Amino acid sequence: MPLLIGVLILLIVVIISNIKIVPQAHAYIVERLGAFHATWSVGLHFKIPVIEKVVKKVSLKEQVVDFPPQPVITKDNVTMQIDTVVYFQITDPRLYTYGVELPMSAIENLTATTLRNIIGDMELDESLTSRDIINTKMRSILDEATDPWGIKINRVELKNIIPPAGIREAMEKQMKAERERREAILRAEGEKKSAVLVAEGEKESRILQAEAEKQSQILKAEAEKEAAIRIAEGEAQAILDVQKATAEGLKMLNDAAPSDPVIAIKGLEAFAKAADGKATKIIIPSELQSLAGLVTSIKEIADVKSQDNK
């Protein structure tokens, strides 16, 4: 009875130990009697004891491997160190298991030889500025070479490109000279633009000043013109008023019907006003001379009468 219990317990332990659960994104390679039998995917599986064996557990996730720097020689005989990063994924667990021994070492060696072949066809400057081209070529070549191994190369990146120390110093000096050249060009362009702006400002200032002077001259001429017009209008109005006054005086004089002596006296007054104390010689018509003597006699008689009255 105890033996039977022991056998049952052993049987249960064996059965439990041969129940396999494959997790997500994994695959198990199972051999039966030393030969490939099946690829277990995600789920619950039972392995026949002794007869079947799980020989490899394969991860189907994308994996990243960083290979150490490899010495490569460019077309112009410059030796430099380049390390690469390869992103790959196992697509066929069976080919991955039986296709190649030590697949990671195979990928590393294949990456190194491919990189040497590509860089060997490029000069130093081209290799430093053509990372995308190198990455694309390497990915294409590696992906084609690893298909029989059940591996898909998704991406290849050049992590570091390390040229020799002398080359690095020369490159730094070149970069410094290039930066100084660009700085000098930018400074010269800035000074040029500044001078152009100053000249344009002076030009605009002169144009505005000339325009202002032009407007000032125009306004001055218009003011003088307006003043001349007003003066002319004033003089014309004054002449018109004089003519009107003269015409009205003549009309009034004509309406009064003056006698000849009154007209003669008015004529004398007109001569006095014409002389205005400035004339040294006045020619009086003969008609007015007799009338002047008459006026003088009348004035003398009037003076005598005034004295007698006193």
Q: For 109-153, write each residue's pLDDT tens digit.
A: 999 999 999 999 988 888 888 889 999 999 999 999 999 999 999
Closest among 164, 176, 194 to 73, alpha carbons compared:
164
Task: Compute CA distances 34 → 30, 54, 68, 97, whole Å.
Answer: 9, 10, 36, 14
pLDDT tens for residues 214-271? 888 888 888 888 888 888 888 888 888 777 877 776 677 666 655 555 555 665 565 5
State the amino acid at position 208 in one-letter form: L
Structural domains of the chain sorted by starting position, each given as residue range(s) with its CATH number in brackets = 2-59 (no CATH), 62-163 (3.30.479.30), 260-310 (no CATH)
Question: Distance between CA 64 and CA 285 in Å, rounded?
Answer: 143
Burial of 225 (0-12, 13-18, 19+ CB in 10 A): exposed
Q: Please, what is the average pLDDT of the chain? A: 82
Highest mean pLDDT among 48-52, 76-80, 154-158: 154-158
Q: Are 82 and 74 in contact (CB under 8 A)?
A: no
Bridge partners for 21 per DSSP? 44
Range from 78-82, 170-174, 177-181, 230-234 carrying the lowest mean pLDDT: 170-174
Bridge partners for 53 per DSSP? 31
> Does residue 173 register a pLDDT over 70?
yes
* 307/13: higher pLDDT: 13
Question: Distance between CA 36 and CA 54 in Å, rounded?
Answer: 10
pLDDT tens for residues 181-212? 888 898 898 888 888 888 888 888 889 888 88
